[in-house]
Amino acid sequence: MKAEQQYIDLFTGYEDLIRRHASDVQNTLRTQALADFERLGFPSVKSEDYKYTDVAQAFAPDYGVNINRLDIPVNPYDVFRCDVPNLSTSLYFVVNDTFYDKMLPKAHLPEGVYAGGMKNFMDKYPEVASRYYGKAALTGKDAIVALNTMLAQDGFVLYVPRRVVVERPIQLVNVFRSDVDTMANRRILVILEEGAEAKLLVCDHSVDDVKFLATQVVEIFAGEGAFFDYYDLEESSVSTTRFASVHVKQEAESNVLVNGITLNNGLTRNNYYIELNGEHAETTLCGMSILDKEQQVDTYSHITHAVPYCTSNELFKNVLDDQAVGAFSGRILVKENAQKTEAYQTNRNLCATREARMYSKPQLEIYADDVKCSHGMTTGQLDENALFYMQSRGISRDEARMLLSVAFMSDVIDHVRLEALKDRLHKLVEKRFRGELAKCAGCRICK
């Protein structure tokens, strides 16, 4: 049986249930999503963009899906304590793929701002929701987006109206909690109207040792002059597989930062699609992953400069130990009329062992003739001269390696625009390199 079939059967067999527990805005797209999924099928390893991730194999096992929206017995506040000191956030939870609405933070949100469950938002504001939902993540282009759109029943929405500034960062914790192998289909929808400002930190945690499979589709709409930070911190488990895609559409003079950090995982595929659709829009796309054992992170990015005077800065770094595998594919498309574009892409990787593998492929496609574009890629080892110099000062080789590895990641962390998170990340990265971060301190199985 083809890997796709069980998902088609799941949907056709339980379509009524899926629809009953979701809002109309989501339901409207399901039939088309099914058709697209059937037509596209999972991308094969022969396709250029999925060379290093066997999608069909990842989706082949039989995972439970909580279509009936049964209550998962968990109090996320028990299993998760955010260990970012001095970072005061409005904290929300999604358990597997259901928004946790039993204990909401005491609202500190400015008037008109919505942060919370997707189903609830769509039931309340169907017009706003249908203007944006599924408009950046198109089911016709990507089978996993189609699959997610077909099955997703809930998720998280952040809506910030015109000129409203949300000072306090919003934090969303995706908790994976289950006694059986589970698949979750999550959605995140971020709408920032003209001049709106917000920061969203999303953390992935797996708190049980069963197998998890996540599809996650994030859509971000940044209106004119909007200012948005999106931090995505994965600290899951070796038995977690995650297919995530972030789709950003930016209007004129908007400024968006996307920073995707993988500290612990199993198999992760992160897709980033960013469209600069208004002049003087600026985007910073960066990320890093620290991998060992047989962990794998496959990063794909596609930045489209559709209009003149936009800037994009892209920086991805990987440190790979043991038999870890990393892949980076970065495409930048500068359209014909997108003059005065500035687009910079950097990918740097460290392989600590002979067995670790890194595949990197920069792709610049430029149709305008008055642009500043650059790309650079390096994969190498830690500097032996620097290691010896540190050893000669009494620093052990392991400690020296750790210091150099942390240093290697420091410029990705420097892009973080939340001071408290920046400090915390330096420490988390250090702990990760010391091997002390099997799981985040907030998770219950490592207590």
Partner 1 sequence: MLEIKNLHANINGKEILKGINLSVKAGEVHAIMGPNGSGKSTLSSVLVGNPAFEVTEGEVLFNGKNLLELEPEDRSREGLFLSFQYPVEIPGVSMVNFMRAAVNEHRKYKGLDPVSATDFLKLMREKRAIVELDNKLASRSVNEGFSGGEKKRNEIFQMAMLEPKLAILDETDSGLDIDALRVVANGVNKLKTPENAAIVITHYQRLLDYIKPDIVHVLYKGRIVKTAGPELALELEEKGYDWIKKEMGEE
Q: Which residues make up the interface to partner 1 (CB under 8 A)?
A: 383, 385-386, 388-397, 399, 403-404, 406-408, 410-411
Instruction: Report the alpha-carbon distance of residue 387 to residue 120 in Å, rounded.
Output: 55
CB nearer to partner 1: pick between 306 and 402: 402
Structure tokens at 122: 């769509």
CB of 234 to partner 1, least distance (A): 23
CB nearer to partner 1: pick between 45 and 407: 407
CB nearer to partner 1: pick between 185 and 318: 318
Radius of gyration of the chain (CA): 21
CB nearer to partner 1: pick between 187 and 424: 424
CB nearer to partner 1: pick between 305 and 317: 317
CB of 212 to partner 1, least distance (A): 34
CB of 414 to partner 1, least distance (A): 10
CB nearer to partner 1: pick between 407 and 445: 407
CB of 384 to partner 1, least distance (A): 8
CB of 437 to partner 1, least distance (A): 19
CB nearer to partner 1: pick between 77 and 388: 388
CB of 232 to partner 1, least distance (A): 23
CB of 389 to partner 1, least distance (A): 4
